[in-house]
Amino acid sequence: MSVERTLHHFPLDPASRQVRLALGEKRLPFAETHVRWWEQPDDFIALNPSGVPPVLVEETSKGRLAVCETRAILEHIEEQNPEPPLLGRDPAERAEARRLLQWFDRKFDAEVSAFLLHEKMEKRLLGYGAPDLANLRQGREALRHHLRYIEHLLAERDWLAGRRISLADMAAAAHISVIDYFGDVPWNDVPVARTWYMKIKSRPCFRPLLVDRWPGMAPAPHYHDLDF
Amino acid sequence: MSVERTLHHFPLDPASRQVRLALGEKRLPFAETHVRWWEQPDDFIALNPSGVPPVLVEETSKGRLAVCETRAILEHIEEQNPEPPLLGRDPAERAEARRLLQWFDRKFDAEVSAFLLHEKMEKRLLGYGAPDLANLRQGREALRHHLRYIEHLLAERDWLAGRRISLADMAAAAHISVIDYFGDVPWNDVPVARTWYMKIKSRPCFRPLLVDRWPGMAPAPHYHDLDF
């Protein structure tokens, strides 16, 4: 059955980026609409009452399905398009990939993105003024802990959840890539994490993310560079 | 294959309660260990590096699997024990149940529990002093919005995600039940939500939650009452 997909997303939103990477890795084509979520557009709220991107709309001969909220979208994509598997094949692999998904979506988000992206991106989008330096410091310090945790995982693994690339890598890379857009990742201090990020950054699914730009917010000079 | 389950949880934690309800609804027996997560016990951190309950440990003849983080546990239980289905059977039902799971775990948690449970429970556990009245007011106001959203959904549905009970009901009831323990749900103002809660509160899976008590924190008088 042919499926026409449209992803409603915001280019610099880590959650949206996870879905773009997953769709890209599965080689599933999709149309795109950019959502200015901070303006709470009526048509988007009608699609997702929580007002948060991304939303994946699928149209088939049977009808139209709007899948809202990141985890719902990722699980849906995986169930409907099992190959290549992005959650692993056995229960232990799946549990580990999902554990790390929640790690990045809750812990990393609360400890790193809530500070760095709030100060550098959301305040600009919302017109809230200059970044607070204490918050930036706190976010950068937490980022170092998370990068060290990534290096700890990679000491015994090829990818974050095990031997194969998974949604855990996509979640981590999606979050980190937005921080990297703003130039805040201390790559020189974390060579193992850097090698992992170079690997995922070089995959075809990542290419669309590297050309993302948003008016008034220029990326760090190395942002699109595969040999950063 | 016989599975021996142990759930590491905290009785008044909404995330832990979701898993207890799901295991109960599937009639899967499990042993319990209470986690004093706020003390960050070493043995629990070794089990789940994020330090957050619940963790489900399964032992079989093949070995031992520790599944960490709520969503990972819920999806694991569903995959390993598909009957009765708690995520619905078709993609649209599953998308809707998962959308609402994320609604309660992120939006309700951030807007309601982060205020009410922080002030009434976490501050006591952590020895942080008396509740802040402005925060309580803000949490109660947000709770009213969420209860109205539940009534909006139930205007056309038997259960939150559709015709059958699902993990969405368990997530909502788990969150609300802890607020109810502290007596903060304005049941008289939301008769439709109240009827829904009476239905789920009467199910066998709910019974263990109604006898939960934590030292120094007595439940509201109606908490265990099925005709509240």
- Digit-by-digit pLDDT tens for chain A (228 residues) are 799 999 999 999 999 999 999 999 999 999 999 999 999 999 999 999 999 999 999 999 999 999 999 999 999 999 999 999 999 989 999 999 999 999 999 999 999 999 999 999 999 999 998 999 999 999 999 999 999 999 999 999 999 999 999 999 999 999 999 999 999 999 999 999 999 999 999 999 999 999 999 998 999 999 999 988
Residue ranges covered by each domain of chain B: 4-80, 91-204
Chain B: residue whose CA lies nearest to A77: B91
Return the pLDDT at B209.
98
| Side-by-side strand order, sheet with A55-60 | A31-34, A4-9, A55-60, A63-68
CB < 8 Å to A149, chain B: 49
Chain A: residue whose CA lies nearest to B146: A50
Return the pLDDT at A69.
98
Q: Supply the CATH classification number for the domain A91-207.
A: 1.20.1050.10
**A65: nearest CB among B49, B76, B92:** B92
Return the pLDDT at A228.
86
- 3-state percent helix, strand, coil for chain A, nearest multiple of 5: 55, 10, 35
Return the pLDDT at B52.
96
Q: How many residues does chain B have?
A: 228
Structure-block tokens of residue B128: 């942080």
Among residues A109, A115, A177, A186, the alpha carbon closest in space to that of A147 is found at A186
User: CATH for A4-80, among 3.40.190.10, 3.90.550.10, 3.30.360.10, 3.40.30.10?
Assistant: 3.40.30.10
The class of domain B91-204 in CATH terms is mainly alpha
Structure-block tokens of residue B36: 């004093």
Return the pLDDT at A1.
73
**B102: nearest CB among A71, A76, A79:** A71
Residue B228 — very low, low, confident or very high, per pLDDT cuts 50/70/90? confident
CB < 8 Å to A88, chain B: none
B99 in contact with A, Cβ within 8 Å? yes
Return the pLDDT at B1.
73
Crossing angle of helices A70-80 and B91-102, in 10° steps, is 150
A149 in contact with B, Cβ within 8 Å? yes
Return the pLDDT at B97.
98
C-beta neighbour count of A164 within 10 angstroms: 17
Reported ipTM exceeds the 0.85 cut? yes
Three-state secondary-structure class, residue A159: strand
**pLDDT tens digits for B24-59?**
999 999 999 999 999 999 999 999 999 999 999 999
Instruction: Tell me how close the Cα of B38 comes to any Cα of chain A, in angstroms.
Output: 16
Query: What is the C-alpha separation between B21 and A96, in angstroms, rounded?
Result: 22
**B95: nearest CB among A72, A98, A106:** A72
**B65: nearest CB among A65, A68, A91:** A91
**pLDDT tens digits for B121-169?**
999 999 998 999 999 999 999 999 999 999 999 999 999 999 999 999 9
Which residue in this structure is represented by tokens 């949604």?
A167
Residue B23 — very low, low, confident or very high, per pLDDT cuts 50/70/90? very high
Per-residue DSSP letter, B189: G
Per DSSP, helices labelled H in A36-69 are 42-47
Return the pLDDT at B134.
97
Q: What is the mean pLDDT of chain B?
A: 96
Mutation target to probe the A interface, by most A beta carbons within 10 A, among B3, B5, B40, B50 is: B50
